[in-house]
Amino acid sequence: MPYIRRHTPREGRRERELADIKRRKRRKVYASARWRRMSAAYLLRHPLCEQCMQRGLTVPAVDVHHRVSFTAFDGMQMLAVAYNPDNLVALCKECHTKIHLHAKEKDAV
Protein backbone atom coordinates (compact mmCIF):
# COMPACT_ATOMS: atom_id res chain seq x y z
CA MET A 1 0.00 0.00 0.00
CA PRO A 2 1.50 3.35 -0.94
CA TYR A 3 2.39 5.61 1.94
CA ILE A 4 0.99 9.10 1.57
CA ARG A 5 2.98 11.75 3.37
CA ARG A 6 0.75 14.07 5.32
CA HIS A 7 3.12 16.97 5.21
CA THR A 8 3.87 17.67 1.61
CA PRO A 9 6.02 20.68 0.69
CA ARG A 10 2.82 22.32 -0.51
CA GLU A 11 1.29 22.10 2.96
CA GLY A 12 4.45 23.50 4.47
CA ARG A 13 4.12 26.53 2.27
CA ARG A 14 0.48 26.93 3.25
CA GLU A 15 1.41 26.85 6.94
CA ARG A 16 3.98 29.55 6.35
CA GLU A 17 1.40 31.62 4.49
CA LEU A 18 -1.04 31.28 7.39
CA ALA A 19 1.67 32.29 9.86
CA ASP A 20 2.37 35.32 7.66
CA ILE A 21 -1.29 36.30 7.62
CA LYS A 22 -1.42 36.08 11.43
CA ARG A 23 1.73 38.18 11.72
CA ARG A 24 0.17 40.86 9.54
CA LYS A 25 -3.04 40.80 11.61
CA ARG A 26 -1.07 41.24 14.84
CA ARG A 27 0.90 44.12 13.34
CA LYS A 28 -2.30 45.79 12.14
CA VAL A 29 -3.86 45.70 15.62
CA TYR A 30 -0.80 46.36 17.79
CA ALA A 31 0.47 49.24 15.68
CA SER A 32 -2.90 51.00 15.80
CA ALA A 33 -3.53 54.10 17.90
CA ARG A 34 -6.80 52.48 18.96
CA TRP A 35 -5.01 49.52 20.54
CA ARG A 36 -2.40 51.68 22.27
CA ARG A 37 -5.14 53.84 23.76
CA MET A 38 -7.25 50.88 24.70
CA SER A 39 -4.51 48.76 26.30
CA ALA A 40 -3.18 51.78 28.24
CA ALA A 41 -6.70 52.51 29.52
CA TYR A 42 -7.19 48.83 30.41
CA LEU A 43 -3.96 48.76 32.44
CA LEU A 44 -5.04 51.91 34.28
CA ARG A 45 -8.27 50.19 35.28
CA HIS A 46 -6.51 46.85 35.97
CA PRO A 47 -3.10 47.81 37.39
CA LEU A 48 -2.52 44.36 38.92
CA CYS A 49 -1.90 41.00 37.25
CA GLU A 50 -5.35 39.37 37.23
CA GLN A 51 -3.91 35.87 37.35
CA CYS A 52 -1.60 36.54 40.30
CA MET A 53 -4.51 38.23 42.06
CA GLN A 54 -6.48 34.96 41.88
CA ARG A 55 -3.64 33.31 43.79
CA GLY A 56 -3.66 36.12 46.35
CA LEU A 57 -0.51 37.80 45.00
CA THR A 58 -0.16 41.52 44.35
CA VAL A 59 1.93 41.94 41.21
CA PRO A 60 1.85 44.94 38.84
CA ALA A 61 0.44 44.14 35.38
CA VAL A 62 2.55 45.14 32.39
CA ASP A 63 0.87 43.37 29.45
CA VAL A 64 -2.66 43.16 28.09
CA HIS A 65 -3.46 39.69 26.76
CA HIS A 66 -6.39 38.52 24.60
CA ARG A 67 -8.26 35.57 26.11
CA VAL A 68 -9.43 34.61 22.62
CA SER A 69 -6.85 35.25 19.89
CA PHE A 70 -8.15 37.66 17.26
CA THR A 71 -5.84 36.14 14.63
CA ALA A 72 -8.36 33.32 14.14
CA PHE A 73 -10.86 35.85 12.73
CA ASP A 74 -11.04 38.10 9.69
CA GLY A 75 -12.19 41.59 8.84
CA MET A 76 -14.75 43.23 11.10
CA GLN A 77 -15.01 40.13 13.27
CA MET A 78 -11.28 40.22 13.92
CA LEU A 79 -11.47 43.87 14.97
CA ALA A 80 -14.46 43.12 17.21
CA VAL A 81 -12.48 40.41 19.03
CA ALA A 82 -9.27 42.46 19.16
CA TYR A 83 -10.96 45.54 20.63
CA ASN A 84 -13.46 43.84 22.94
CA PRO A 85 -12.56 44.90 26.50
CA ASP A 86 -14.23 41.74 27.85
CA ASN A 87 -11.70 39.68 25.90
CA LEU A 88 -8.73 41.28 27.64
CA VAL A 89 -6.79 40.33 30.74
CA ALA A 90 -4.02 42.31 32.48
CA LEU A 91 -0.97 40.17 33.22
CA CYS A 92 2.54 40.40 34.62
CA LYS A 93 5.39 39.31 32.34
CA GLU A 94 5.73 35.95 34.07
CA CYS A 95 2.05 35.00 33.74
CA HIS A 96 1.94 36.22 30.16
CA THR A 97 4.99 34.17 29.18
CA LYS A 98 3.50 31.10 30.89
CA ILE A 99 0.18 31.45 29.09
CA HIS A 100 1.92 31.48 25.73
CA LEU A 101 4.18 28.56 26.61
CA HIS A 102 1.16 26.46 27.53
CA ALA A 103 -1.03 27.70 24.70
CA LYS A 104 -1.37 25.15 21.93
CA GLU A 105 -1.57 28.07 19.61
CA LYS A 106 1.96 29.39 20.00
CA ASP A 107 1.12 32.56 18.12
CA ALA A 108 -1.68 33.58 20.49
CA VAL A 109 -1.46 37.21 21.48
Residues that bind Zn ion (CB under 5 A): 49, 51-52, 59, 65, 92, 95, 109
Which of 59, 79 has the CB closer to Zn ion? 59
Count Cα atoms within 13 angstroms, Cβ side, for 34. 9
CB of 57 to Zn ion, least distance (A): 7
Of 65, 61, 64, 58, which Cα lies nearest the Cα of 92?
61
CB of 28 to Zn ion, least distance (A): 16
Which of 8, 97 has the CB closer to Zn ion? 97
CA distance 84 to 45: 15
